A and B are shown apart, each in its own frame.
Chain A
């Protein structure tokens, strides 16, 4: 039973991560690879302040979330002034760099990571209780994002994604909007990281590597970028699927690479057969689609003198 709860909690963590990432990638059209970094920052900061400074986990959670949100400005502010493709590159640098730091910093326990992180709840049936809390929190995060992208704010995000220059020429400030989107999405990732840390009670740099970037990207693309429920479906599917493979009883030498192969094949398949993802409607473009079409579009206005 413990195993089922673990899968459930991981699914919820991934739902929060994928939904936040969808806000940035799907709605905002900002292709960043560095989402796991903010997940890591949330987890590590919250673990460290509770371990070293004795901050109760519930407050550590808040600190971890805030630090992740603020840290996102470090990526967004310098890189958002340049155009989309550079953001991908900058974010890859950010991603690889930070994991490298985690692997080498004494404070974060180097490659071994942190263990004996204080637990957030101490009750009988801890896993069950935490599962229920996580379902509620994940649901809340999804609803917050849904609220954000459907109102006045969402209209601005989508308009900016469609045509940033036309958007600014109407009097809108795209830089501020992007920084805010990044901060909200990354703050949520930090929140997920803190929750993860204070439930599983250990962290290693491996949890936040480029493989996690790929997994999150897959969740959003497969589920349906720029939809409310797409990342939820994608996150659950791609958390459960690798676990299901484990039951196939394959040797480890095949099992380990198989996950990567499956993720990759899924993305390629979906980009070909159903670029809008499982739940994407026919019209509402987003995510990689936007990126691809924008790269192709760039030109006529700039070319005319």
Chain B
């Protein structure tokens, strides 16, 4: 089976800083991959490379069998790559509901031509988007906040909305950038449940996370990054018990 997303020898440097050094990574249907490593290891940059926010210097990104590294960010999303951001980045002037309604993979309302000539298709698409958004709000427990502005939500609720927004894209891949940072209790459980369900339904998921318990709990395998390279990959427990990696992570080793 073709992997949902595959990176092949992906490299990128900003001036002297290497953020990706011949990265090979594969995300498969139904699997959750944890991306771990200290701050500055290049985890978020890898996400940016995969979803097209940053263009690689060398190497390829495949979505299905299609090469996408030259495509624009929005084309990646239209091919089914959805992501969340470490700093959530909701649309604060819009309501919770509107934050979701803007997020389907294809949004006819962004084209004036569709607005003028495609009224029928548009209203059908809108109805479908509304149904999906309502169902997602229900799932993340924000139905009662639908009409509130995104900026009025608590941090945990914003995280949930960020994930729901990414899920409006009904594609096959979900990239989650620190979904659990600053989150606890009920919200924690809810995010865990949502991510698990999505994997069960066949999405390929990659999670950047510092919360070891979460990674251990939910990931099928983990990838350890350091200085733009993948140092190791395997089961979470194997990586966690590798003294060499924990030294890199906590900076406790005797030099590098």
Contact = CB atoms under 8 A, between A and B. Distances in A.
Interface size class of A (residues with CB under 8 A): 20 to 34
B74 A153 contact: no
Contacts of A301: 44, 85-87, 89
A172 B74 contact: yes
Interface string B83-95: 1011101111110
B13 to A, nearest CB: 10
Contact of B109 (A155, A161, A167, A184): A155
Contacts of B86: 300-301, 304
Interface string A269-297: 00000000000000111100000000000
Given A163-B91, A166-B91, A153 B112 contact: yes
A152 B126 contact: yes
Contact of A173 (B17, B74, B82, B112): B74
A158 B109 contact: no
A283 B45 CA distance: 33
Interface residues of B, number: 51
Contacts of A300: 86-87
Interface stretch (B56-64, B100-108, B137-145, B187-195): B100-108
Interface of A: 151-153, 155-156, 158-159, 161-163, 165-174, 176-177, 180, 184, 283-286, 300-301, 304-305
15 contacts: A152-B122, A153-B110, A153-B112, A159-B98, A163-B91, A166-B90, A167-B91, A170-B165, A170-B168, A171-B77, A283-B151, A285-B93, A301-B85, A304-B39, A304-B44
Interface of B: 14, 17, 19, 39-42, 44-45, 51, 53, 72-74, 76-78, 82-83, 85-87, 89-94, 98-99, 101-112, 115, 122, 126, 149, 151, 165, 168-169, 228
